[in-house]
Amino acid sequence: MNVPDLTYLVVGFALLLASLLPAALRRLPMSAPMVLVLFGVLLGLTPVPDDWVDPMAHRAVVEHLTELCVLVALMGVGLALDRPISLRRWHTWRDWSASWRLLLVAMPLTIAGVALAGWGLMGLAPASALLLGAALAPTDPVLASDVQVEGPTAGVGAEELDEEHEVRFGLTAEAGMNDGLAFPFVYAAIAWAGAGAFGSWAWHWLWWDLLARVALGVGAGVAVGWLLGRLAFRPPRRELRRVLTGEPLLALACLALSYGAAELVHGYGFLAVFCAAVTMRWMEPDHAHHQAMHEVTERLERLLTLLMLLLIGLAPTSGGLVHLSWSGVAVGLLLVFVIRPLAGWLSLVVRSRRERSAGRRLNRRDMAVTAFFGVRGIGTIYYLAYATGQASFEGMESLWTTAAFTIVLSVLVHGALSGLAMDWLERRNRVVTG
């Protein structure tokens, strides 16, 4: 059997599993990503061609496939959030407080922790250690659906929309924003690998990669989201509103336009897509069309995720982890069980007096669950594929295998515990509030 025929067969089985799994796993402590990864593990025991599981051999294909997968997930995440944010209303920014802290405190601490572990335990060069930290630090919008909000609420007034569980909202918003904001640190690793001396690139990186490109990405996303929202929900002609709000592919148009606009001005496209989705959602927050658009992105995301999950699952049993060392295993275990939970807890435990008096706060149970569920996934693969195509990094095999092991570990651990943790949290919070 040749490779194309085998590919069709494997993808067919995966599609069948994806169709059956949501209903089959509803009452079990398992997630669809877990089953698909395990299916890949079993498939790896068969005589699968070795080059299937070598991302370095297909770096460009892996980069573009994972890029599209993350983009679609970010569009869906932005549409799903039922909590407004506005430059003119400061209290809406306080309502996102948990997400800001996870983004601005937990993620840099996680990058630093993983980079130090990669440098100290694995003996990676500083640039390679920083790349590993930047790739593994962001939580994943693709594989974290079990701990995120389910989708947009429609048919109620805007004042009634803001009712999601604080933990789910915080993790969802974090996953939407940090995939774009990890990029400055990926570029720092690329610059370090290429230029060498820290002082030769640090100032340019600070003002351009860390500040200017973030602002350009946010600006491009907000502009595209506002424009499409005006056309769809507040058009000059009623016929145009009927056409656009009857076409759920508007979500994909928003995705492509915002990403293209941001990349054209050298902003961060991932961040632009998320901002565009949030902006368009809040042009008319309770419109039923948001549900239709979210459903399109959700289905496309599921299809794109299938192949990546299979490839990730193939790695442990078909030679994809041949370069994995015990130190790499230690880094993965530290990230999942120590670095991310500790960084997340530290970012959430300090709360201002004003925030405590506001309506939204996390109790200790909420903080523990939020800190622990930093799911790793498809975004990590994209960052590694992109960075290794831009510069040469020492120990690339170790980077790939450590990342693959960490993703498999995260999918299995977080997938097994997510449903149980969320059910426990909701029961405990009902007891306290009741």
Per residue in 40-88, pLDDT tens?
Answer: 777 766 666 555 566 777 788 889 989 998 999 899 888 888 887 776 7
Residue of 149, 153, 159 whose CA lies nearest to 288 = 153
Encoded tokens for 160 = 């009634």
CB 37 within 8 A of CB 312: yes
Which phi and psi angles does 89 have, rounded to 5°?
-125, 100
Residue 236's pLDDT is what?
67
CA-to-CA distance for 266 and 383, rounded, in angstroms? 17
Give just the sign of the alpha carbon dihedral 239, 275, 172, 95.
Answer: negative
CA-to-CA distance for 297 and 300, rounded, in angstroms? 5
Residue 411's pLDDT is what?
86
CA-to-CA distance for 59 and 385, rounded, in angstroms? 6
Encoded tokens for 51 = 């080059």
Nearest-5° Cα angle at 232, 228 to 235: 100
The 10s digit of each residue's pLDDT in 302-329 is: 777 777 777 777 766 666 677 789 999 9
Beta strand spans in 99-142 (E): none
Bridge partner residues of 86 (DSSP): 89
User: Would the pLDDT of 1 be above 50?
Assistant: no
Residue of 74, 1, 34 whose CA lies nearest to 301 = 74
Residue 29's pLDDT is what?
64
Rounded mean pLDDT, 406-411: 90
Nearest-5° Cα angle at 213, 396 to 248: 90
CB 415 within 8 A of CB 142: no
Residues 6+ apart with CB under 8 A from 430: none
Residue 51's pLDDT is what?
58
Task: List helix spans (H) across 315-351.
Answer: 326-334, 340-349
pLDDT band at 167 (very low <50, low <70, confident <90, very high): confident
CA-to-CA distance for 290 and 250, rounded, in angstroms? 10
